[in-house]
Every structure is written in C-alpha cells, then in structure tokens.
Structure 1
C-alpha cells in the first residue's frame, strides 16, 4: 500500500468528529473545498469510497479501517512531540470511551496528571457494555469496557469491579415498599429509575434479589449519573447505582439500601490499540496510551464494604 497523506487522514478523523464538512474545515482551519479535495484524493488512492455523504456522515468499512489508522497516527505524533519536547498540537486529541458512572466517580481524578501534562483528551460516554464498539469502529483509541477479551489489534488490562446496589429514599420505602421489604408483589406498581435503554442493571438486581428471570419493570429514565442519584433521592423510584455514587448518601441516611446482601458486580477493563514501539525506542518513557491505561489502573476506586453505615 502506498503511503497515505497524514493531512488527508486528519480530514477523515475531523469529519467523523465534527459530522460535517463545514465544521471539519473550521476545526482544521482550512477551507471546506480543501477538506473535500483531501478526502477525494484519499478515496482515489484507496480506489473506493470512505464516507457516505449523508446526514449524519457515515463511514464505509474501508473508511473505518483508515479511521483507526488515523487515530493511531495522531497518538504516535503526540508521543513523538512529547519525547522531543515540542508543543503538542491541540487538534491531536486523544479520544477514549468511558462509562458514565466511572466518569462521575473516579476517571477525572485518575486522568488529571495527563491533563496537567498538556495531553488533550476527548472523553466519549456510553454504556460500559457498548464502549468497545467505539474502539472497534476506530472512533476512539481506548475504552473502559466490561469486555474481558481483547479486540483484534488491541490489548486489555483489568481495572476494577464496580458493585451496583439497590437504593431508594426512606420516604419512598415507607410509602411504596413497607417494612417487609421488596417482594414479587411490588413489581407491578413500584417504579425503577433507569439510566437509559441500554441499562439493564435494575433487571439484573431484581433477578438476583427475587430469583426472577427477565422481570418486567416500571421504568423512569434519567440519563445522567448525578441526576440519576438525585432522582432516586427525590423519590422517583428504586435506583440500582454504583456504590461509590451513593455511598455518602446511604451513610448519611438520605438513601436507604435495599437488600445490602445483594449487588450486581460489573468488571471493568481498559482496552487500547497496540501502537508501534519504534517511537518509544531508546527512551524509558511509555507511550501515550500506556500512560492513560496506567493512570486509570492507579486511579480505580477503593469502594469499601457495602453497609448502612
């Protein structure tokens, strides 16, 4: 394969990130015509279309392959600039996908040293069962995922196990559940707060707590980790949330644990593309993705026991 124009690959990545030729041109500080010309030249070199000109723009299969290459090239470029002591271009952002609960609890403090070092991170949020799709499609260079097996061309590092517990406001428990606790008879009238339609933690918890298979639940959707906990505290329903998100509220009495003996374990792993080692040859400094993985592994939460106090 002939050498590919890095500027054309940057255009491809910008088109995916921005969703239009106009916004990609603005990001790259070139004309819209220049973006079109660079993409057309790349497609002619590959002999096939890379982008479906629709709204929103979509990549073809070959386009996804080249996007992965473009992302890796940007990360390697950042590594080279850092090792040479040069300024890192702000456009060489490093996109990684994380789940919302990790972002709301421990990811930001874990990544703070990299941000202080001038690394331009772009955090993409999705359910932990789906973040690896972003990696597979080449939209990100790494992801926090429940997937334990490494994708082709990637390597995986175990991070932690987050425990999801069922909580509700004391007033909600008194009004809707009663002193005997949650049982099968409650499921027809007791609502559960759900993050989004990908979220099945509530069904998993009910299966474990009540020994039910594929339970049907009344659901209220709140697609924000912080707002989710607030909704549960306001009495919107039962929530099944990561223990670090609700621990302080449980210990202060603002939320009440339902069945402290039951929780849903969610194992998290860090996936990253394998980049060439040549850039790091002769230096003890790890590559950028290795640094991100190490920072996340060092910053995972120490959850402590699940209890009322």
Structure 2
C-alpha cells in the first residue's frame, strides 16, 4: 500500500472524535464537503469502507486499523513540532483510557507536571474513563494511545508494564450500619442491603461478597452512582455499602464518616500500563534527538512512576 494521505487520516481521527461530519469539520476548520472528499479519497486509496454513515457514525474494522495509525501519527507530529519549536494549528489529541478509581486517586497527581508542560507545547491530553476490565478495548480499537487496565497481556504492537495493585475495602456510614447492620453484614442479610455500584460494568461489589461469603454470582440490591468520588460521598451519607479503593476510603475512615465492613476481607486488583509503540525500538520509543523522549513515552513514564509510588507492589512471582 502506498503512503497514506495525512489529511485523510486527520479527517478519520476527527470523525472518530466528533461522531459526525459537521462536528469533524468544525474541529478541522474546514467544510463538511471537504471532510467527505478527504474521507472518500482515503477509502478509495485503501479499498475499504472506513466509516458507517450512521448517527452517531461508527468506524468499520478497517477504519479502526487506520485510526490507530492516525493517532500514532498525531503523537509523532506533536513530538516533531515540540522539537522544532513550532506551533501546531491545533492541539494534537493524545488520548489515554483510565479506570475511574485510578482517576479519583493517583492518576491526576501523576500527570500534573506533564499536563502543565503541555499547555506550553501545544498538545491536548484527553482522559477517557471506563472500567479497568474494558479500557483495553479502547486501545484495541485505536481510540486511545495508552491505557490503565487489569488486562496483563499486551496487544501486538504494544508494550505492557505492571503498575501495582489497587486494594479495595467495603465501608458504610456508622449510622447506616447501626440501623441496617446491627449484627454486621452476613450471608443472611447481604441480599437485602443496598450496595453502591458505579455502573452495570462494575462487579467489584459482587466480587467482594463472593469472597466474603463464598457465594457464586450473588444478586445484590444495587444503587448506581457513576462517580468514584460521589460513590464515596453516597456511602458517607448512608446510601449503602460501598466497595472503595483503600486510597479513597482511608480519609473518610480517619474522619469517622465511614467504617470498614468486614475489614478482614479485601480485594487486590492488579493494574497494567499498555501503550502503542511509536517506533520499532523495544520495549519503548527511543529518545528523540538531544536526548528528549516522545510525548507518549513521557506520559507512560509519568503514569508508571505515579502508580508505583502509590499502589501496592505486585506480589512476588
């Protein structure tokens, strides 16, 4: 296949980001007709339909393959502009996927210095949130350049590094426990007690109950609160039992807002950093001229350092 047109790849990335031709045109500061023409030229060049014209539009499997390539080209372009001291027409989007609990605890401090530097260098870090069991899908589909995931196996073309373990504990407000759990949480009452759940992908509460009481696939009374911080607040307000990251719960426990429920039962979730390789070097991109490394490599290094300074270490092999 001959060299791909970068304008067409930028259109494909904008369409994936915006979800419509109108919004993609706005992102690129061109007309909708120009977006359609560039996409059609790219589809003709590769011999595949790349976008299904639905609402919202979606990428075909060949489109996802090219999206991965387009995202990597954007990251490399941002690196080149930074090295040359050039100003980009618009911030290059560098998306990574993280789980909500990591975002609520250690990810923002880990990336803080890098993001502040990015304000001067013209690139836009985007954090996409999903369950740790599903962030890997965003990487596979080409939507992101890196992800924090519970999946240990690296995709072809990616490298993977262990970050550490996030420990989860069950907590509830003291007044909730006095009213609803005077005898404690046990096999006879857990099904009647409300549990605070992030969303329908979140099975942390079910895992905790399974471990605590030896019940396979427990059916729980769920109250959905789609935010880690808000879920912790809901627990402190007495909405139910919450299975929270220890990092998020420890301050609430210290203040007396919540108490541990069965402190002897904990869950440790291993997390990994996955990143597309932007060069042929192993295991990660080589330093740029002058000893500087690429932006995605800097993001990866910041995530790894922040996680290993905060999370529990992985168990010895």
Structure 1: distance between partners of 2:108 and 2:222: 30
Q: Establish whether residue 129 from structure 1 lines up as the match of residue 136 from structure 2.
A: no
Q: What CA distance in whole angstroms lies between the structure 1 residues aligned with 2:286 and 2:254?
A: 49
For residues 283-305 of structure 1, what are the alpha-carbon distances to aligned partners after superposition, in whole Å with 9 as ceiling and x for unaligned?
4222222111110112125368x
Q: Secondary structure at the match of 1:143?
A: strand
In structure 2, the residue matched to 1:68 is 68
TM-align CA RMSD = 1.5
Residue 302 (structure 2) pairs with residue 299 (structure 1): no
User: Are 1:8 and 1:39, in contact at CA under 8 Å, matched by a contact in 2?
Assistant: yes
Q: Verify the 8 A CA contact 2:196 2:231 in the aligned structure 1.
A: yes
Q: State the SS of the aligned residue for 1:223.
A: coil
- For structure 2, the residue ranges without an aligned partner over 5 or more in a row are 313-317
Measure the CA separation in 1 of the matches of 2:31 and 2:185.
61
Aligned to 2:53: 53
Residue in 2 aligned with 1:247?
250
**Structure 2 partner of 1:265:** 268
User: For residue 284 of structure 1, what is the aligned residue in structure 2?
Assistant: 291
1:176 aligned to 2:183?
no
Task: Give 5+ residue unaligned stretches, structure 1.
Answer: 305-309
- The superposition leaves residues 96-151 of structure 1 with CA deviations (integer Å, 9 ceiling, x where unpaired) of 00111111111111111211212410110100100000000000000000011111
Match of 1:32 in 2: 32
Shift of 1:90: 3.3
Query: Contact between 1:76 and 1:279, CA under 8 Å: does it hold in 2?
Result: no
Query: What is the CA–CA distance in structure 1 between the aligned matches of 2:189 and 2:16, rounded to whole Å?
Result: 46
Structure-2 separation of matches of 1:209 and 1:202: 10
TM-score, normalised with respect to structure 2: 0.92
1:96 matched residue in structure 2: 96
Task: Identify if the C-alpha distance between structure 1 residues 91 and 282 changes in structure 2 by more than 3 Å, giving closer, same or farther.
Answer: closer
**What do residues 68-89 of structure 1 show as CA deviations (whole Å, max 9, x unaligned)?**
0000000111111122222345
- Give TM-score, length-normalised by structure 1: 0.94
Change (3 A) 1:207 1:197: same
Query: 1:80–1:279: 8 Å Cα contact kept in structure 2?
Result: no
